[in-house]
Amino acid sequence: MSLPKPAVDMPASKDGKLQTAVLAGGCFWGVQGVYQHVKGVKNVLSGYSGGEANTAEYETVSSGRTGHAESVQIEFDPKQISYGQILQIYFSVVHDPTQLNRQENDVGTQYRSNIFYLNADQERVAQDYIAQLDAAKVFRHKIVTRVDPLKKFYTAEDYHQDYLTLHPNQPYIAAMDIPKVENLKRVFPGVWQDKPMTVAMASMH
């Protein structure tokens, strides 16, 4: 479903610098795969946020005891897409923000819904948007998304990068994540781009 646009958004940037968003919403394969198809997004990395450097490793994070969430770091051109639009996609097609410490069958704090803000503007936009969506009762249950300051983003292992684009027929991806990508195309045709901006492509620029 397409949710209302954020009433409060970041001001349009004129300096031409890329901005960064860090979001967690379940398994990072699908979150990365969705944003790679968004116009204005220049790079998306899968990784870990919320814990310490010495536990930012897949097997350890999977214990659910590190404080880390599987996250993605999104670099985007604010002249093409705003931080608010990034969040609109996040709440509309990326995940269910009313599920606490899980997404469907993936259970644990590492799969939590979490926005990691980089500055006060991002914090304000995120908090206001959650309040706006809750007030509009667009979900049957209350949003449980956490809004926390970003301490550090740790890039995940190479084999997790571009996972959806490389393995579209893998059973988990086909069942859980390809529908999200198709939903993006259907719900947000204005920001859809056919060719995904993969990590491999981004590194060539």
Residues carrying an active site annotation: 27
- Non-local CB neighbours of 6 within 8 Å, separated by 6+ positions: 84, 87, 88, 125, 128, 129, 132
Q: Would you state the structure tokens that stand for residue 145, as one six-digit string? A: 């998304």
Given a contact cutoff of 8 angstroms between Cβ atoms, the answer to whether 123 and 84 are in contact is no
Neighbour-count burial for 162-188, b at 16+ CB within 10 Å, e otherwise: bbbbeeeeeeebeebbbebbebbeebb
Phi, psi of 64 (to 5 degrees): 80, 10
- Non-local CB neighbours of 56 within 8 Å, separated by 6+ positions: 47, 48, 66, 68, 154
Compute the Cα dihedral for 2, 111, 157, 126 and give only its sign. Answer: positive
SS3 115: strand
- Non-local CB neighbours of 76 within 8 Å, separated by 6+ positions: 18, 19, 20, 21, 38, 40, 41, 42, 86
